[in-house]
Amino acid sequence: MDIGALLAENIVQGFLIGLVIGLVVRVASKAIRNLLILQFVLLKFLESRNLLIIDWHRLTNGLIGQKELVIGQAQDLIDTVVEMGIFGAALAGGFLLAQRIGK
């Protein structure tokens, strides 16, 4: 297969998938945001009534104490994004276009 045709195919596929994902995220993000807010309010209410005990400091301690792990994961993430190449760029372009269309 010709390299130009392969690149064009990846661009079109990435752009279309990005467009669809962008539209879905645009619609679903409001519902998910409201659900997460309600869940957090419910947890805080139950905690204030002493029906539920949440150790908030312990939840974040695992992330704060693991600096090397976080840095390694960030580097792996950057490597993955770079390796995605033209498909990733087209996917991002489609997603951004869907976000602009939704406004």
- Summarize pLDDT for 2-40 with one digit per residue, the tens: 777 777 777 787 788 888 888 787 777 777 878 888 888
Backbone phi, psi, residue 59, to 5°: -65, -35
Domains of the chain: total: 1
Residue 3 domain flag: no
| Whether pTM exceeds 0.75 | no
85 within some domain = yes
pLDDT for res 44? 80
DSSP, res 49: T
Domain encompassing residue 32: 17-101
Would 11 be classed as within a structural domain?
no
What the block records as the tokens of 101 is 């269309």
Assigned domain for 86 exists: yes
Indicate whether 9 belongs to any domain.
no
Does 2 reside within a domain? no
Q: Is residue 93 part of a domain?
A: yes
The DSSP code sequence of 68-101 is HHHHHHHHHHHHHHHHHHHHHHHHHHHHHHHHHH
pLDDT digits (tens, 9 = 90+) for 45-93: 888 888 888 776 666 666 666 667 777 777 777 777 666 666 777 777 8
Domain membership of residue 56 (yes or no) is yes
